[in-house]
Amino acid sequence: MRALFGLLLGYAILVAGNSLLTTLVSLQLLHGQWTSLTVGLVQSCYYVGFILGAPLAGRLVTHVGQHRAFVAFGALGTLSALGFARFDAPAAWALLRTISGVSMVFIFTSLESSINTAVRNSERGRAFGTYLVVTYVGVSAGQFLLGTTQAAGALQWLMVAGLLAGSVIPAALLGSWIVPQAERPAAPALASGAVGISDGHVGAGPLPAPLPSARAQARALDGLHELWDAAPRCVPACVIAGLLSSAFYAMTPVYLTRIGYGNAAIAQAMGIALIGALLAQWPVGRWSDFSERRTILCALAIMTAQASAVLVVARSHVVVDATLFVYVSLIFSLYGVIVSDVNDRINPGKRVAVSAALLLMFSLGGSAGPAVAAVCMRVLGSGGLYVFTLAVTAGLAWLMRPRQALAAAL
């Protein structure tokens, strides 16, 4: 994991900027008197970018390496963020959100494939928990930055661009650059006692599994086939995780605005809620290393449904803030457990492709989440957002319910 230090530090800075950008887009559209449905459709385009980028992400990251992919697509994200300061039409913002999504799916693929090749199965829950802790440190920091400038000021867009641009500095300068499989020379014969013979890497300690060759990644859906064969129930679970995540990020600022929160209160509520996501990652990851991961997914879904039921009717700011803290700690623990469960079951040589496939499934859910949640809010009022999440999490609990015969088969 020390070799990933630069990537993880750069990633923390990047997600702070991306988190600030996501909330800014929703609030600026509301400030311009656009409807919640418009907000939902524009924000869905972020995940459309994921869908467009995910089939190519595994192959490209394999070719150029994790660090190079991070630097290149961090720069692309910076350019898209600057576009928000220049244009104010929803159609232009939808295109910019799509570009943001494309850049982020390549970055996520590079990070997640690096982590999954660097750890053993018995450590994967904790490793992914650490990765998600870094994620939510950055995400929460980005929300608190929302209150540092005026709601409609251009400075906020420049702050986003500065964070995204700054993220590539530690990624480029710190830690070891991971050499793609296609660039590794053949391993020489090593003296007795040397380690790392099989993958051409010489060093001490546990070694990452080799990245698959470009030929192995030739078909964009290879990872999806591998994912379906190894863990079919995790495919819809990953879609549901995307639904919940995108609906929270895109529509919770709208929900809070409609129940009487101002911009400063929204920044505080979102930031505090995302601290809940941060605090939950390592304990849930640790729990999943010692228990059956799918049973844990069922338990998380049941508790999320209960929190959603409270948010449907709650209007007291104290109750909403406290329940959002619990709700967010639960929904953002789902993806790490799903990824750990999948990587316990797959061929190590397929991990880059499967990482891209998981992100594709997540982004399919993510692309639908804001739009469907916006429709529910339009029909049922502000609480419709959490009627939607209640229904979705009840479905996830049913999907992951303990089934001994099926569990043995899968």
Say if CB 385 and CB 252 are below 8 A apart: yes
- 């540092």: which residue's tokens? 148
- 């990851």: which residue's tokens? 285
> In degrees, to the nearest 5, what angle opens at C-alpha 226 toward C-alphas 220 and 227?
100
Q: Which two tokens stand for residue 191?
A: 């003296």
- How far is it, in rounded angstroms, from Cα 323 to Cα 317? 10
Count other C-beta atoms under 10 Å from residue 193's C-beta. 5
- pTM attached to this predicted model: 0.72
Q: What is the pLDDT along the chain (410 residues), one digit of tens a residue?
A: 555 677 788 889 999 999 999 989 988 888 888 888 899 999 999 989 888 887 787 778 878 877 788 889 999 999 999 999 888 889 999 999 999 999 998 988 888 777 766 667 666 667 776 777 788 788 888 888 876 655 456 788 888 999 999 998 988 887 555 444 444 434 333 333 333 323 333 222 222 333 333 343 334 466 777 778 777 888 899 999 999 999 998 899 999 999 989 888 888 899 889 888 878 877 887 787 777 888 899 999 999 999 999 999 999 999 999 999 999 999 988 988 888 888 777 777 677 678 778 877 887 898 899 999 999 999 999 999 999 999 999 999 998 887 654 444 44
pLDDT given for residue 383 in this prediction: 93
Say if CB 28 and CB 142 are below 8 A apart: no
Q: Which two tokens stand for residue 128?
A: 């992914």
For the chain, the straight-line distance linking the first and the last C-alpha, in angstroms and rounded, comes to 30
- How far is it, in rounded angstroms, from Cα 25 to Cα 43? 8
Longest alpha-carbon distance in the chain: 71
DSSP state, residue 134: H
